[in-house]
Amino acid sequence: MGINLASYVGATQVRRFVLGDDNVQPTPAQLEQMKSLVRDAMKDGAVGVSTALEYAPAPYAKTDELIALAAEGGKFGGIYSTHMRNESDSVLDAIDEALRIGREAHVPVEIWHIKVAGKNNWGRMPEVVAKISAARAAGADVTADTYAYTAWFNDFSAFVPPWAHDGGTAKLVERLKDPATRQRIRKEMLTPSKGWDNEWQEIPGPEAIMIGVVQNPKMLPLQGKRLSEIAKIWNKDPIDALLDFLIEDPDTGVAVFGMSQPDVTLALQQPWVAFDNDLPALRPKEFSARSTLIPAPTEPSRASCANMFAKKKSSRSKTPSANSPPCPRSAFASPTAACSKPACGPTWSSSIPPPSATSPPSTTPISCQRGWTTFW
């Protein structure tokens, strides 16, 4: 791991420790216990509180619970970083929730992998940019990050409504095997709704889902295939293929191609947006039979940068010489006293042009861009 690694305390981690995987709300005493866990994590070096509100049991948390936990982290200088509750039909409402948490908890906000997901929402990034820009102009300390491709990576089980996850993975599998409950799940997946982030309604079709990482070895032959291919191999309806796949391997990770390039490009052009990666990208030699990741840029500079850093650990912040390999600009960023917010370390991106004698470094320190730090 890189020395510029920083970590959050996950609100879901705290919730599961106290409440488990059930769809319940904390009592006042339980909330105090959760706040105590946040304090302990902050004292141990966490840079703030993070949420991933699409993935059960995270959706069961109400906004007031998140405000209480974020405020506790804020007492130690922490920030609030979030995979918002919705990134599609209700994306603007989700931004409002994130802004409210920051405002009432008195903490800066970082919105992870900002996007407008789903074919019905393509072209709505101007609305998202306008809302966040207006909030910043009004004094809100809010930034975001995103990736430079049109797919996101998440749990395959995220296609199933949150209520079906109540009680954890074992309960989910039980429900998938029950004909009546399975029919209810299918019906909700096929019904447009703003009540949950329905990813089935966001994709053009089953060909937009690629199996990325499986946990069950028997499913390895299907890794890297699209759901449309699997449905054909199994001679099943795509939704049935999805649900049956989850029965066999409920912890599968998938790449979902559900964004438009113009929306991604517009997000990347904003000065308050940093680069991120929705999954750690690896050098080719580090790929294993268990890893099929979202394709990331693979120019030769990555391996040469890594080798150079290994040899020159004491000089990472120096500008490279003319003979140095073309490394991402962020690789040479160093922490600065001018940054008043907790730094999450550089956000690596090969899309940033390499520094040169004719291109001065960015005036905004990369270490102050509160992006989701990832490593090669």
Q: What is the pLDDT of residue 196?
A: 86
Q: Which one has a higher pLDDT value, 343 or 157?
A: 157
Confidence of residue 269 (pLDDT cuts 50, 70, 90): very high
> Rounded to whole angstroms, how far apart are CA atoms 25 and 34?
12
Listed range (97-106, 226-235, 248-257, 282-291) with the worst mean pLDDT: 282-291
Summarize the confidence of residues 165-171 as an average pLDDT.
Answer: 94
Mean pLDDT of the chain: 79
Residue 147 pLDDT > 80, yes or no?
A: yes
Q: Is the pLDDT of residue 198 over 60?
A: yes
Query: Minimum mean pLDDT among 54-68, 217-231, 272-286: which range?
Result: 272-286
Report yes or no: 370 and 273 within 8 Å, Cβ to Cβ.
no
Sign of CA dihedral 292, 214, 227, 161: negative
**CATH level 2 (architecture), domain 9-146+261-275:** Alpha-Beta Barrel (3.20)
H or E segment and range at residue 28: helix 28-43
Buried/exposed 231-257: b ≥16 CB within 10 Å, e otherwise: beeeeeebbebbbbbbeebbebbbbbb
- Please tell me whether the overall predicted TM-score, pTM, comes out greater than 0.75 for this model: no
3-state SS class at 317: coil
List the structure tokens of 231.
Answer: 């449905």
Q: Strands across the sheet with 9-10, in order?
A: 9-10, 48-52, 79-83, 109-111, 142-146, 273-275
In the DSSP assignment, the letter for residue 121 is: G
Sign of CA dihedral 208, 214, 220, 224: positive
Would you list the domain boundaries of the chain? 9-146+261-275, 154-257
Round to whole Å and give the CA distance between 132 and 114.
Answer: 11
pLDDT confidence bin for 193, thresholds 50/70/90 = confident
| Pick from 131-145, 236-250, 359-373: least confident | 359-373
